[in-house]
Amino acid sequence: MAIQQSSTSRAIPAIAQSAGKVAAKLIRVANRLEARALESPSLAFIPLPGRKYAFALLKVTIVISAASFATSAAMVLLGLFVLAALPTSSPSESPAVDDVSHPEHRFYHPERYDDYGSLK
């Protein structure tokens, strides 16, 4: 009995694979730095549970700051997409000569006004 392959590919995209590799490498580097700092003679005056607690607190702080940055970036992008989707306002029609109640009438027809801004 042969196994049929699906017509849709289930392969992980290249960017996701590279992001996963980078994340794994960062975790390995962080674990090495943590192990080196925990065994450091210069930090020997701090008890081992205190050093472990400090590193756990540092990791939580980094994760929370990264999550808040990602959330803010998502909100900004969502706002930009909403602004881009809004209809643009068409420029207002220029007022007719007799439309003196229009707020920009004196800018379009200055010949109808005196030096003090009153209608002639």
Tell me if 54 is assigned to some domain: yes
Domains: count for the chain: 1
Q: How many angstroms from the chain centroid is the CA of residue 118?
A: 51
**Residue 2 dihedral angles phi and psi, to the nearest 5°:** -85, 150
* pLDDT tens-digit series, residues 84-112: 999 887 666 788 888 888 888 888 888 88
Tell me if the pTM is above 0.75. no
**Per-residue pLDDT tens digits for 10-49:** 677 888 889 899 999 999 999 999 999 889 999 889 999 9
State the residue for tokens 């674990």. 31
At 92 the three-state DSSP class reads coil
Residue 94 lies in a domain: no
Give the range of the structural domain holding residue 33, as residue numbers without chain letter.
14-84
**What does each C-alpha distance from 56 to 19, 29, 49, 62, 111 come to in angstroms?**
23, 15, 10, 10, 76
Q: How far apart are CA 46 and CA 3, in angstroms?
A: 60
